[in-house]
């Protein structure tokens, strides 16, 4: 039976601006893929990321270009040979997982040999702002298990100290989004343990992180922009202790599962992250959450309105979408 592909650009306004060292977002622009086989439909979502040279228009065009292959019954294994790792492949891969599970009358978790998703402690992100504003945001979430704070190179010591003082209990991820230099890191090194930072995420620019090989960090350093697929892992050895798996980088759940298994075998700790997206982008990633030491899947919590039936948060515990939303 032929399959029918539909691909669309959807926009979700944010309830408050999302600021990182690279800029400010006021909306989540996503590409939504629907693949129908008869009366059964699978869905997937991806966020094209300008940092990786991706645009909405080019992502949609790349997906439409493989419509004949999808119609003819393209498999997830075959997909990897048609699209590179990235947003376009992610949206199609996740739609194929969803469709496959529904056609089989089972769940994606069962197909993948994974436990069904459950509520997980997921980071609540404190966006980049003045130290006082960041402290105010942190105080409102001081009871959650895990905070993630976005910093830049302007005054990271004041930003981190303000958040830690306002929220002394949660575990803490600090994410400079590639904005630091090795000199910044050396200056802050004596304070990293003092602030009780649990993870430092991508402090130096990817491709310019060779200095991390000689840096004796008092806290684990995590690769984000420096990691896309399992093929990148060997180059990260000696520089990073943890890797951040995002489906928009890996090109979908299929490669993300391979990456997780390979990373663990090579001794890396795991983090599962996301872009600012809807719950359709988060549901597949939650399947990896149980394997990760750090989960950062709060993208939909920034939206003014999510897709109906999506994930829910209660005091930093993220619960899966309603049954039937994706993958079940």
What are 205-258's pLDDT values in tens digits? 999 999 999 899 999 999 999 999 999 999 999 999 999 999 999 999 999 999
What pLDDT band is residue 1 in, cutting at 50, 70 and 90? Answer: confident
pLDDT of amino acid 295: 98
Q: What is the pLDDT of residue 21?
A: 83
Mean pLDDT of the chain: 97
What is the set of domains in the chain, with CATH numbers? 3-105 (3.30.390.10), 120-319 (3.20.20.120)
- The pLDDT, as a whole number, for residue 194 is 93
Closest CA to 285 of 135, 159, 123: 123
- For the question of residue 246 being annotated catalytic, the response is yes
Active-site residue, 150 included: yes
**Which one is catalytic: 150, 189, 249, 266?**
150
Residues in the chain, how many? 328
Q: What is d(CA 242, CA 245) in angstroms, rounded to the nearest whole number?
A: 10
User: What pLDDT does residue 24 have?
Assistant: 87
d(Cα 147, Cα 241) in Å, to the nearest integer?
Answer: 19
In angstroms, rounded to a whole number, what is the distance separating the alpha carbons of residues 264 and 242? Answer: 10
Distance CA 101, CA 37 (A): 12
Q: pLDDT value at position 139?
A: 98
- For the CA atoms of the chain, what is the radius of gyration? 19
**What confidence score (pLDDT) does residue 108 get?**
98
What pLDDT, on the 0 to 100 scale, is given for residue 23?
Answer: 86
Cα torsion through 128, 131, 137, 143, rounded to 10: 110
With a cut of 90, say whether residue 136 has pLDDT above it: yes
CA distance linking residue 236 with residue 76, whole number of Å: 27
pTM of the model: 0.96
Residue 75: pLDDT above 80? yes
Percentage of the chain modeled with pLDDT above 90: 96
**From 189, 246, 249, 266, active-site residue:** 246
| Tens-digit pLDDT profile for residues 20-49 | 988 889 999 999 999 999 999 999 999 999
Angle, helices 56-65 vs 87-104, to 10°: value is 50
């Amino acid at each position: 039976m032929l399959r029918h592909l539909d691909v669309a650009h959807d926009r979700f306004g944010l309830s408050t601006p999302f600021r990182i060292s690279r800029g400010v977002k006021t909306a989540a622009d996503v590409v939504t893929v629907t693949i129908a086989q008869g009366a059964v439909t699978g869905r997937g979502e991806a966020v094209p990321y300008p940092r990786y040279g991706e645009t909405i228009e080019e992502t949609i065009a790349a997906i439409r270009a493989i419509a004949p292959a999808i119609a003819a019954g393209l498999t997830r294994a075959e997909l990897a040979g048609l699209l590179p790792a990235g947003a376009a492949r992610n949206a199609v891969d996740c739609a194929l997982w969803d469709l496959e599970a529904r056609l089989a009358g089972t769940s994606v978790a069962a197909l993948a040999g994974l436990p069904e998703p459950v509520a997980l402690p997921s980071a609540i992100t404190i966006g980049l702002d003045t130290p006082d504003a960041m402290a105010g945001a942190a105080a409102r979430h001081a009871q959650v298990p895990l905070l993630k704070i976005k910093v830049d190179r302007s005054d990271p010591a004041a930003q981190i100290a303000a958040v830690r003082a306002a929220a002394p209990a949660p575990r803490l991820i600090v994410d400079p989004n590639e904005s630091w230099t090795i000199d910044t890191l050396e200056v802050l090194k004596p304070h990293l343990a003092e602030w009780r930072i649990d993870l430092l995420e991508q402090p130096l620019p990817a491709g310019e992180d060779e200095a991390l090989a000689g840096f004796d960090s008092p806290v684990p350093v995590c690769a984000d922009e420096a990691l896309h697929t399992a093929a990148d892992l060997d180059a990260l050895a000696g520089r990073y202790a943890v890797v951040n798996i995002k489906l928009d980088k890996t090109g979908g759940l299929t490669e993300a599962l391979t990456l997780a298994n390979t990373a663990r075998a090579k001794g890396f700790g795991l983090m599962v992250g996301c872009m600012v997206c809807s719950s359709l982008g988060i549901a597949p990633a939650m399947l990896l959450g149980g394997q990760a030491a750090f989960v950062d899947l709060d993208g939909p919590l920034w939206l003014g309105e999510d897709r109906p039936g999506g994930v829910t948060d209660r005091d930093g515990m993220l619960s899966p979408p309603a049954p039937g939303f994706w993958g079940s």
